[in-house]
Amino acid sequence: MMRVAAMLAAGLLAAGCAVEDGDRAGAGGQSAGGGNSVTAAPPPAAFVGRWRSDAPATFAGEGYRTETSGGETEYRADGSLSYRARLAIFGERLPAGGLPFTVRATGEWRLADGILTERLAKVDVTPEPGYAGLAALTADLARDIAARPPARADLVLIEGGRMTLRDRATGRVAAYRRIDGAPGSGAVLSGLGATGPGATGG
């Protein structure tokens, strides 16, 4: 169970508090957006708020495949964040429809020099109805996710109600849309100065 939980935790974090499969960075793990020298921080309406990524993120390893979908992240002005998503695990010895879970997490964020850092502090994993008997797995999974190092992503683009992030560890790209109805800035912002008092860079 512990190895499965660790693999699932890696899959969820690779999906990046929601960074999804997509274009990869060039050789050597280079990331787009890191060379910008813009120092002005974005207005709060451009970043603070609720964001959703509708395309599912997948991760495979150790004979299992995970799929994270419906990921929503709320970035608050005080540097805290909340996250929720549906996580399903598929494997040869598992039900055909996979094992589905709801993941909820809280933590903190920081945006500095165009790099978004997210650190999860508390994670709750709950099996969906009809999948009892997974308490040990969900406890291991929640603990492993919370123990992961902070996720770091380049803010490639934020314009109006759209945002694109590129995960620094994997090069995976995720596109998000604002779902809280707050107005966007209308300006293209990347390589931003520091904002958000929460997580520290790693």
List all residues 6 or more positions away from 53 whose beta carbon is below 8 Å from its beta carbon.
18, 20, 71, 174, 175, 176, 177
Query: pLDDT by residue (tens digit) across 113-147?
Result: 889 999 999 999 888 877 766 777 788 888 888 88
Identify which of 53, 46, 36 has the alpha carbon closest to the alpha carbon of residue 190: 36
The CA distance from 86 to 70, in Å, is: 6
pLDDT given at position 56: 80
Residues 22-70: tens digit of each pLDDT: 333 322 222 333 333 333 455 566 889 999 987 788 877 778 888 888 8
Can you give the pLDDT at residue 105?
Answer: 93
Rounded to an integer, what distance in angstroms lies between the CA atom of residue 162 and that of residue 177?
Answer: 5
C-alpha 162/C-alpha 170 separation (Å) is: 21
Interatomic CA distance for residues 44 and 192, integer angstroms:
12
Cβ contact 65:92 at 8 Å: no
Residue 110 clears pLDDT 60, i.e. is over it: yes
Q: Chain-centre distance of CA 22, in angstroms?
A: 14
| CB contact set of 144 (below 8 Å; sequence gap of 6+) | 5, 6, 8, 9
